[in-house]
Amino acid sequence: MLKPAPPKPAINIGSNKNQEAGKTRYNDQELIEFKEIIHQKIDVARDEFNKMQRSLQNPNENGDGNTSNQYVTLDDGASTFEKENLNQLAARQKKFINNLEAALIRIENKTYGICRVTGKLIPKERLRAVPHTTLSMDAKLVQYK
């Protein structure tokens, strides 16, 4: 298993108001706000995941009523492709849900919003847009260099 490289110095993209104020973590009220956002995203993501699962379990829900295998057509290949694609989407959705649930655990531990590379607070705007993130934009940019 490879060891992660030591963190490189962060690129200063802009000032983080929270760092200027000397905050090292978000307060309980802010964490409650993020928790609500995450719960909303989990609800939507679970609904989408469940729809995908139902679609995979009942491939003939499109209303044609033909469940017999006596007609083999070129559509079988397209159907297989769609099923594989839907499986991949469902796997990504499940990973997204798991990441959101991990964010809830970080909220409970009061470590939510702290960049795992720089140790600095991730700006609220980024957390509202990507509530499961564990990297600040500085760390994310350094990661892809």
Closest by alpha carbon to 126, among 103, 97, 94, 92? 103
Q: Looking at the domain that runs over 21-58+75-143, which CATH code has it been given?
A: 1.20.120.910
DSSP helix/strand/coil, 74: coil
**Residue whose pair of structure tokens reads 């104020």 in the numeric block:** 21
Tens-binned pLDDT, residue by residue, of the chain (145 aa): 445 444 444 434 444 454 445 789 999 999 999 999 999 999 999 999 999 999 888 866 554 545 555 555 656 667 788 888 999 999 999 999 999 999 999 999 999 999 999 999 999 999 999 999 999 999 999 888 7
Coil vs helix vs strand at 108: helix
Helix H or strand E encompassing 98: helix 75-108
